[in-house]
């Protein structure tokens, strides 16, 4: 086996702990990342779900926006779930005026597209590249992907809408696999990271 990757979870806001647990279960070393020095020490990053407008504000406040953009542009593997997917969109619909994203995937993401908090749901999702049957997805005020550019690959759809996309080393899902105890999406990401070490 190759080196064990060190994967950070962006810990400005959101469900950080669940990702740390899922990454550890998928054989990575996982640690929270809040500061630029901590970002510099990880091989890859997970951006959790939460509230993307708050996450964007805190990234500016903590001096993390530019360091994050630079690492993503330099080819660091990143996986964003829900609000994290929003952060990885090159273009956003229904965002707040002052909302910043990091970019990373040539896609247009619509925020809150699946409805409000009380319209949250779980669904079985067929995920290209993941074996053993569909993964369980938890959707909480989830975004969907309106369209992707030529370099981006759609890995999963739900109800006709794109809910998982990969472009090179950047992965994004509308849903939260970290809340289900099914660690296969994290294992898929850990493999992506390991392939580049």
Ligand X SMILES: NC(=O)CC[C@H](N)C(=O)O
Number of residues that bind ligand X (CB under 6 A): 11
Catalytic residue set = 82, 176, 178
Nearer to ligand X, 46 or 83 (CB): 83
Residue 86 contacts ligand X per CB under 6 A: yes
Using the rule CB under 6 A, which residue among 72, 140, 148, 192 binds ligand X?
140
Q: Answer yes or no: is 52 a known binding residue.
A: yes
Nearer to ligand X, 5 or 95 (CB): 95
Query: Of 19-58, which residues contact ligand X (CB under 6 A)?
Result: 49-52
At 90, list the tokens: 């090159």
Residue span 94-133 as binding mask against ligand X, x where in contact by CB under 6 A, dash where not: -----------------xx---------------------
From the centroid of its chain, how far is CA 6?
16
Query: In angstroms, what is the minimal distance from the CB of 192 to ligand X?
Result: 21
Give burial (CB, 10 Å; 0-12/13-18/19+) of 48.
Answer: buried
Residues that bind ligand X (CB under 6 A): 49-52, 82-83, 86, 111-112, 140-141
Q: Binding site membership for L-glutamine: which residues?
A: 50-52, 111, 140-141
């Amino acid at each position: 086996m190759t080196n064990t990757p060190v994967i950070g979870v962006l810990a400005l806001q959101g469900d950080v702990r669940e990702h740390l647990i899922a990454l550890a279960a998928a054989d990575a070393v996982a640690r929270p990342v809040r500061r630029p020095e901590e970002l510099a020490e990880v091989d890859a990053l997970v951006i959790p779900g939460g509230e993307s407008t708050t996450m964007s504000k805190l990234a500016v406040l903590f001096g993390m926006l530019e360091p994050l953009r630079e690492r993503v542009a330099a080819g660091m593997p990143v996986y964003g779930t829900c609000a994290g997917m929003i952060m990885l969109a090159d273009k956003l619909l229904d965002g707040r005026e002052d909302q910043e994203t990091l970019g990373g995937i040539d896609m247009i993401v619509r925020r809150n597209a699946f409805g409000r908090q009380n319209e949250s749901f779980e669904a079985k999702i067929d995920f290209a590249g993941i074996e053993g049957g569909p993964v369980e997805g938890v959707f909480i005020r989830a975004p969907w992907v309106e369209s992707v550019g030529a370099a981006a690959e759609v890995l999963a759809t739900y109800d006709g809408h794109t809910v998982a996309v990969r472009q090179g080393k950047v992965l994004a899902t509308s849903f939260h696999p970290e809340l289900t105890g099914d660690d296969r999406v994290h294992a898929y990401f850990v493999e992506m990271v390991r392939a580049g070490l």
